[in-house]
Every structure is written in structure tokens, then in C-alpha cells.
Amino acid sequence: MEWPYDNEAGLLAEEDCDVLVLGGGLAGLHAAIAAAEKGARVTLLEKGAAHRSGAAGTGFDHWEMACTNPGCTVTPEEMTRALEEEQDCFSNAIGHYIETREGWDRLLDLEKWGGKIRDTEGEFTGAPFRDDATGLMYAYDYRNRYTLRVWGTTFKPALVRRARRLGVQLRDRTEACALLTCEAGGVKTGTGGLGFDTRTGRITVFRAKAVVMAMSRPARVWLFHSDLPGLCEFRPLSSIGSGHAMGWRAGMAFTMMEKSVRGEFSAAGRSFPPYGTGNNHNTWYAATMVDARGVEIPYVDRDGRELKTVLERYLPAPGQKFFLKGGVIDEPKYEWRGPETLPFDELMRRGYRLPFYADLTGMPDSERRVIWGMMVGQEAKTRIPIYENYTERGFDPARHALQSYGTGWQSAAFLAQERQLFGAPGGVMHNWNLETSLRNVFAAGDMLYASDCAGHACATGHWAGQHAAEAAARAPMREAGRDFVEETRQRLLHPLTVRDGLDWREINAAAAKAMQNYCGGVKCDSLLRQGLEAIGELKQAAGEISCRNPHELVRTHEVSDILDVCELILHASLQRKCSCAPLFFERSDSDESLAAQERCYLTLWREDGAVREGKVPLQFYGDLTSNYEKHREGGGLDE
């Protein structure tokens, strides 16, 4: 068949701006808007179409940790400390503090721009989770009210409208492929990026005074399925960590990349579509669960006390200030443990029978409607494939029970080597300005180390955009290195010159298998080194991939980025010598004598073809409140 779009392969264009934003998800759009509001000329490159791209393109239902919202009883300091201790300090306190201080402001922005953040129609008037004075709708802890239920399907279109109105140059269908850098005064400095038109193949050099990276995080590293590549990960097929890869190639420092968890979602294999099976977590919290005989499964508080009412599932235990639930919280420590159904093993011991079901039929009407209709409906990937399709199939939440699979909300049981960067994995190392180790290059959202969640992405995006605008105001425009541009151009187009070569999927599958073999649940030096060799060989083999059009080229660029990410993860794993439970990092050759020394962020970056390593103390960010004040609204750049 003929290619329906223009053919611009080989064309090289050039554009200038003050701030270049890479990635048009929640973080990238907020960054672009914040920079434009400060007067910067902004260009944003988005690989898909910003209107519905990214993890949250079709929505999200929880806005977490909005501690300055009018109903919240937890302070930003308290919440940041809790999140930090919860992760044994391997968390991102800077990001969390920005999130807890400013998340609510971002939500008010979104409302101003046309997003829906409260129950304006009075659909839930009188419900225990609704504040009738403001129409705000709370989730999880109804007493402390730090997390809101929101109409996330409305947010991306609202952000795109706002960005357009401010004159942001939105370049949809443009894949960011490389960072442009130079040495300035002995410091590696960002000077722009290279974009590849995913439909025509044109390459554009975007020169900029400052860059914000917001391309989410790696995926398809351990999990791949050649027949169903789109289903093998939790995030969109097109988000595979190109930001990490181009940062790594350019010498950017990363941390915690040795952290990975046993897989949680892969609907190509073990699991089902997220939020589409019976469960009582996240979107479905706190659904009633029953077993195969319809016997209700008890909820207990942190002391094992059985809860009698539905309302108690949303309240802290006696003597507990608040409990934690949400995206980065898996099995909280006692201090913040909230209500839960009894553990699976205990249920088996007590004779409960599989399969289990989520059963909304007997729940109070408002709880049933808010789970099925609002949360399932506003959460990403639920409006059409779950809410509408199940309704068409006849599902009625007042009559039916929805089956549960496996043992938990992931509805699956993975093997130890089937890993994922899930929860709050590693990422870009940064300072209070959200500036990376490359000068004038900032990062935001899920690209940051130990980061997750929509509100966090919006808050850090805004913060990074403000700082990038300030940095751009004092940086000169620099020329792009011609040799590097030419080299990259050839790399990007090379597969068009290969005839009857390999399919990109063969390389991705081989990489995933290599990572399962050499960087699985239990690691050791000799395996990891084999892994580096194997990935090196695959990089050679990737030169044999052939493509017939820009779409295939994009998938091929992704695979080459995935190989770079594999390398980064293998090096990070080699660097940490002692097993580390908070990072889910286990070694068979663990050197326990290093345990204390390694209680820090290990950082790594590439320089002159070699891998360099560093150490940063866990609480390097200092006092939260005073640093926040110093750096807010783009301040503190001279530090």
C-alpha cells in the first residue's frame, strides 16, 4: 500500500525557541504553560497527539496529596515526611513537597481552564466523601481529605487549549530523538533537541536556551509480547523511556535505576485490563469483596479489628492521625496502614473459596455510583473499554458481581524475573530547581527519580517550566554541533536502507529475555556482566532492522532507546553491591559490609565513553520549607 502522508525523509529543518519541552503529557504541558506564562517562547514536541497522549490522556480519577486543599488536615511537611519514611527515604522529597504544596493550585488552574474538579451538578450531594460547601469529592481517608476524586477525562484537552492560547508551538507527531548539548565554561549544557516527524520522517533541529524533559519512564524492558506489544505494559506503547535513553547518551546523571519490582500489570500475558476486574484497590477502593459463595470478606484496620460498616473503610484507626493510600503506596508501614481486606493467605486458611468478586450491590448507593460511573469512567483506559463496554455486555453494578483473578488487584501472579519499573522507580537525578546534571536541562513528572502520579506530574511540570523560563532568560542561544546532528540523522534513517532485515519486535523480545535472564529477581555480578555483553550484541543486531516507513522507524528508535535503558539499569545494578530491600534489589553475592555505606542515592552517568559513579546522601535536599521558599516560582537558579 502507499504511504498516506508526505515523504520528507532526509529533510533537515531548523527552528529556534527559548524553552523546548520534550513530551506533551501532564508534566510537559504544565511546563510549557508555566514557561509561556513567564514570557518565554515555547515549543513542545509530542510523539503522539497532546490532546489525548500520555498515561493520563484518557483520564485519571485520583488527584493525590493535595495537602493545601481547603478540606485537608495533613500539612505538606507531615505528608512529605510520611511518604519519605514510608519508602525508607528512597523517595523524592523535593518532588513530593512541591506536589503537596502546589498540587491544589494546579488543580485550581485546571478548573479555570475548563477541567472538572468538583461535583457541580450535585450528583453526590450528601455523600460522606463530598464536601457540600465546595462540591469537592474526597477519596480514601474521608477524615483527612488529602486525595481528591477528579474528572480526569477533561484535563488533557483543557491543557492543550490553554497552551495554544498562550502561543505554545505544539508539535504533535514529533518524536524527540536526542538532546543537543555543548561544553560551556567546563559544564555540559543543554542547547536543544532533535525531533523526528513520525508521519513524514522529516528531522528538525530545535535550538533552545533551556530544555524541559517530560517523557515519562522506561517500559518494555523485561516484559514484551511480539503479537500484542501494545498490551504488554501498563503505560502507552509509545512511552518507553526515550528521555532516559537520550539523557544517558548525553551524560545526564540518574539514580535508583537498580530498582525494579516484580511485574504488576501486563495484559498481554498474565493480567487483565487494569480496573476491569473485581478488586478493591485504587479506583475500586473500598469495594465490598465476596467469595465464591457470596460470603463477605472482612475489612480490618491496622490492628486487625474487623470493621463493621462501609464508612469505617474510609476512616483512620483509633489513635491514628491519617492513613496512606494511593499510587506509590503498596504495603504501608503500621503507622500509616489503612483499612484492608484480610490478607489472601489468611482468607485461604479460613476457608474462603475462590473465585472472589467485587460486589457493589449491597454498598450505599453513593459509594456504588462513585466507583462505577465516576471512578470507573474517569480513570485512564476505563471510559470506553470498561465502563461503556461492560455496560453494553449487560453489567449492572446493582445486580452483578465482577470476578477477581489471581490474588490481588493486579489480577495476576508474575514470576520474579518478570519485572517492571512500577510504583516509584528510579530516574533523573535533580536539584531543587528540578534541573538535571546538565545545565539548563530540567525534568518533570515520571521522568524524575522516585516519582509517580498525576498531581505530582502537574506540580513538578509547572515548577520545571518556571525554572526553565528563568534559565532561558539568562542563557544565550547556541549552535547545534553539526557532526552530532549528522550522525544522529544517519542513525535515525539507517533502517530505511536495510533490505529484508530484522523486525524491531525480534530485538525487543530478545532484550526482554536477556533482562529476565541476567537482571531478574536475584542479581549477581557475573550475570549482570553477561547482561551487558548480551545487550551490546543486540545493539549490533539492531543495525540489521529494516523499516519501510516512519511508523516502523519510530518503533525501531524505541527499541534502540530500550537497549540504552537496559544498559543503564545493568550498570546501576552493578554499582550497588549490597542487597537493598526498599529498592527491591536482591543479590546472591550481596556484600553486607557495605550496607551502611550504600544507604544513599547511588548516581551514575556517562562521560568520555566511560560510566562514572557518585553518591548522594539520602536527605541531600535539606530543610523542606526554607528551600521551597528560596526556589519557588523559578527562584534560586544561582545556587
453 contact, one of other proteins, ligand FAD, none, CB 5-8 Å limit per kind: ligand FAD
83 contact, one of other proteins, ligand FAD, none, CB 5-8 Å limit per kind: none
Angle at 575 between CA 560 and CA 217, to 5 degrees: 40
DSSP string, 459-496: HHHHHHHHHHHHHHHHS------HHHHHHHHHHHHGGG
Q: How far is the CB of 518 from ligand FAD (least distance, A)?
A: 26
Q: How far is the CB of 593 from ligand FAD (least distance, A)?
A: 37
Contacts of 213 (CB under 8 A, 6+ apart): 22, 23, 179, 243, 247, 428, 436, 441, 442, 443, 444, 447
Residues from 327 through 356 that contact ligand FAD (CB under 6 A): 327
Chosen residue from 133, 293, 319, 345 binding other proteins by CB under 8 A: 293
- Residue 202 is a binding residue for ligand FAD (CB under 6 A): no
Chosen residue from 16, 51, 71, 481 binding other proteins by CB under 8 A: 51
Residues from 228 through 247 that contact other proteins (CB under 8 A): 228-231, 233, 236-238
Residues from 168 through 187 that contact other proteins (CB under 8 A): 173
- Residue 131 is a binding residue for ligand FAD (CB under 6 A): no
Residues from 565 through 624 that contact ligand FAD (CB under 6 A): none
Contacts of 269 (CB under 8 A, 6+ apart): 223, 225, 232, 412
Whole-angstrom Cα distance, residue 162 to residue 51?
Answer: 11
- Residue 401 is a binding residue for other proteins (CB under 8 A): yes
27 contact, one of other proteins, ligand FAD, none, CB 5-8 Å limit per kind: ligand FAD
Contacts of 497 (CB under 8 A, 6+ apart): none
C-alpha torsion sign, points 439, 444, 448, 450: positive
Whole-angstrom Cα distance, residue 301 to residue 147?
Answer: 19
Contacts of 203 (CB under 8 A, 6+ apart): 11, 12, 13, 177, 194, 195, 196, 197, 488, 489, 492
Whole-angstrom Cα distance, residue 80 to residue 282?
Answer: 20
Q: Which helix (H) or strand (E) holds 601?
A: strand 600-607
64 contact, one of ligand FAD, other proteins, none, CB 5-8 Å limit per kind: ligand FAD
From first CA to last CA, the distance across the chain in angstroms is 57
- Residue 425 is a binding residue for ligand FAD (CB under 6 A): no
For residues 25 and 550, which CB has a smaller minimum distance to ligand FAD in the complex? 25
> Rg of the chain over CA atoms, in angstroms?
24
Whole-angstrom Cα distance, residue 341 to residue 69?
Answer: 29
- Residue 489 is a binding residue for other proteins (CB under 8 A): no
Whole-angstrom Cα distance, residue 315 to residue 322?
Answer: 8
Window 367-396: contact mask with other proteins (x via CB under 8 A): -------------xx-xxx--xxx----x-
- Residue 489 is a binding residue for ligand FAD (CB under 6 A): no
Chosen residue from 12, 187, 295, 415 binding other proteins by CB under 8 A: 295
- In three state form, how does the secondary structure of 537-572 look? HHHHHHCCECCCCHHHHHHHHHHHHHHHHHHHHHHH
For residues 224 and 336, which CB has a smaller minimum distance to other proteins in the complex? 224
Residues from 397 through 416 that contact ligand FAD (CB under 6 A): none
Sequence length of the chain is: 639
Residues from 539 through 558 that contact other proteins (CB under 8 A): 548-551, 554-555
For residues 331 and 500, which CB has a smaller minimum distance to other proteins in the complex? 500
- Residue 147 is a binding residue for ligand FAD (CB under 6 A): no
Q: State the number of binding residues for other proteins (CB under 8 A).
A: 74
Residues from 359 through 388 that contact ligand FAD (CB under 6 A): 379-381
- Residue 53 is a binding residue for other proteins (CB under 8 A): yes
Window 33-62: contact mask with ligand FAD (x via CB under 6 A): ------------xxxx----xxxx---xxx
Residues from 263 through 322 that contact ligand FAD (CB under 6 A): 274
- Residue 49 is a binding residue for other proteins (CB under 8 A): yes
C-alpha torsion sign, points 564, 569, 570, 575: positive
Report CA-CA distances (Å) from 483 to 15, 252, 488, 527.
Answer: 18, 20, 9, 36
CB 117 within 8 A of CB 110: yes
- Residue 13 is a binding residue for other proteins (CB under 8 A): no
Query: For residue 357, what are the β-bridge partners?
Result: 290, 403
Q: How far is the CB of 169 from other proteins (least distance, A)?
A: 18
Q: Which residues bind ligand FAD (CB under 6 A)?
A: 22-28, 45-48, 53-56, 60-62, 64, 175-176, 214-216, 234-235, 238-239, 242, 274, 327, 379-381, 445-446, 452-455, 457
